[in-house]
Chains A and B, each alone.
Chain A
Amino acid sequence: MSTAVTAEQVEKVVVESLATFGADPDQITPEATFEALDVDSLDLAELSQIVHEQFGVELKGSDVAEVKSVEDAVQLIASRL
């Protein structure tokens, strides 16, 4: 995958995806937990598809199970770019 992708771009995609899933856009900050945002396993399965399409990064269920916040998700994805 292109090395031109930045963490900021990843964050933008994650934030936009979560908003599409129905999370309150005003509450989607890097520190926000998925619990607070009411993001569940189905949302993360959808997010994994989007991340794969956009960045070619494959996330498995066991990967996202450890992800608890927006920041965690962005870091995990960015680390695999």
Chain B
Amino acid sequence: MSSSAQMEAIVVTGVGAVTPLGVGARTLHERWCAGECGIAGGEGACADFEPKDFLSAKEVRRADRFTQLAIAACAEALADAGWRDGEPDGRGSSAPYDPERIGCVLGTGIGGIQTLVDGQDTLRERGSQYVSPLSVPLMMSNAGAGALSMRHDLRGPSFAVSSACASGAHAIGSALRMLQCGEADAVVAGGSEAGLTPLARAAFSALDALSQTGVSRPFDARRDGFVMGEGAAVMVLERAGAASARGARVLGTVRGYGASSDAHHLTAPRDDGRGQAAAMTAALADAGVAAEQIDYVNAHGTSTPLNDRAETQAIKLALGEHAMRIPVSSTKSAIGHLLGAAGAVEAVATLLALRDRIAPPTLGLSEPDEGLDLDYVPGAARPLTRGGNGDSAERGADGPVLALSNSFGFGGHNAVLCLEAA
């Protein structure tokens, strides 16, 4: 297959997000860059999200929270892309494409876990005959993709992808490929997760993966695990020519995508970061750009001892000396780890940061761990300089800026997006 660099560009024309920093993609971007943190009580809950603002009473009952979050993010993304005429609840579509040529790919790590738990409770407490017939349609991991396709009449290929905490990035990568191989003319892609349940808390705690202090401080010596969050993000992807022909406002370009597997351990990354670096290198090659052209890295940066160390190694392996010259920061410092939604939420946050020429901060980082010596943008955002701190003169200060957005999942799944904004 040809690389993305040899094919027509795939552009982003709309974004939407619901995160612990509030409802709205730009709310996430602006609040994160202002140094605000959406974590409270040791978790990143979407406290501002009111399902009834987006769904009827019937629809609320017919959707697990992970689907509800996806529906809200999708409504925003389609409106942002100019695909619909502003119905407040986001139903329907005035998409500028044949519905049969619009795909939908939504990542989730877990799916409808609260629905699963409720069904189990009912089974145990009342008996099998009382388990709700809505159990399967709500908890299945493709429920979100199904809901979006029905709600907006997206009749092209539609499915969920699942690779734990890399799901959202794999979904956008899959959408890119779907467009490049001609399966669709537009794809609605993203990720969603709603795992803030006692079961998930207990399960991740049993792995020693969750922060016991409830603080997300990636790359800091005191980091002690990730802070679980919930949320969703959705992007509208189209071919550049068609987007231009319809006069769409283009937010940026998905320049490339690379994926790899550690093939090493169910939960731990390789110490040397080689698997993660392979995905970063593949994304660069797919985009047809050199390491020196990357201006920013949105790290997976989970705040776990293992990830942040391995990822720092991976960034150095993939970018060489250039790794020391550019800002690297973690969205999870502001919202926690959104698991299967993280890759999509972080792709949206990265794209908006590139557009505004800003390097968002890694919050909570004041004592970098030994050996973790990249420029993690501790504490406060700052202007994003093209070419980083080094040879910007070579590339010139004007022109588009490029970023890699890293996502790595349990199971050893690595997915990296190369994003560009003018």
Residues in chain A within 8 A of chain B (CB atoms) = 21-23, 38, 42, 45-46, 49, 52-53
* Shortest Cβ gap from A27 to chain B (Å): 13
Chain B interface, DSSP helix/strand/loop, else mixed: helix
Asked if A22 and B134 make an inter-chain contact with CB atoms under 8 angstroms apart, the answer reads no
Chain B residues in 8 Å Cβ range of A53: 130
Q: Which residue of A lies closest to B130 (CB)?
A: A49
Report which B residues bind A (CB closer than 8 A): 56-62, 129-130, 132-134, 137
Is A22 in contact with B129, judged by CB distance below 8 angstroms? no
B residues less than 8 Å from A21 (CB atoms): 58, 61
When the two chains form their complex, are residues A22 and B130 in contact, meaning their CB atoms are under 8 A apart? no
Whether B62 lies near A42 (C-beta < 8 A) is yes
User: What are 9 pairs between A and B in contact, CB < 8 Å?
Assistant: A22-B59, A22-B61, A38-B58, A42-B62, A46-B132, A46-B133, A46-B134, A49-B129, A49-B132
* A22 lies within 8 A of B132 (CB): no
For the complex, give the distance between the alpha carbons of A46 and B61 in Å. Answer: 12
Query: Which residues of chain B are within 8 angstroms of A42 by Cβ–Cβ distance?
Result: 62, 133-134, 137
Contact call A22/B57, Cβ cutoff below 8 A: yes
**Distance in Å from the Cβ of B213 to the closest Cβ of chain A?**
42
Q: A22 CB to closest chain B CB, in angstroms?
A: 3
Q: How far is the CB of A19 from chain B (nearest CB, A)?
A: 9
State in angstroms the CA–CA spacing of A46 and B138 once bound together: 14
Distance to closest chain B CB from A26 (angstroms): 13
The answer to whether A45 touches B133, judged by C-beta atoms less than 8 angstroms apart, is: yes
Question: Please, which residues of chain A bring their CB within 8 A of the CB of B129?
Answer: 49, 52
Chain B residues, CB < 8 A from A23: 58
Do residues B133 and A22 form an inter-chain contact, with CB atoms below 8 A? Answer: no
Nearest CB in chain A to that of B60: its residue: A22
B61: which A residues are within 8 A, CB to CB? 21-22
Could you say which of B57, B59, B60, B137 has the most chain A C-beta atoms within 10 Å of its C-beta? B57
Bound state CA distance, A52 and B56, in angstroms?
Answer: 27
Q: Min CB distance, B127 to chain A, in Å?
A: 10
- Smallest Cβ-Cβ distance to A23: which chain B residue: B58
Given contacts A21-B61, A23-B58, 18 further A-B contacts (CB under 8 A): A21-B58, A22-B56, A22-B57, A22-B58, A22-B60, A22-B61, A42-B62, A42-B133, A42-B134, A42-B137, A45-B133, A46-B132, A46-B133, A46-B134, A49-B129, A49-B130, A49-B132, A49-B133
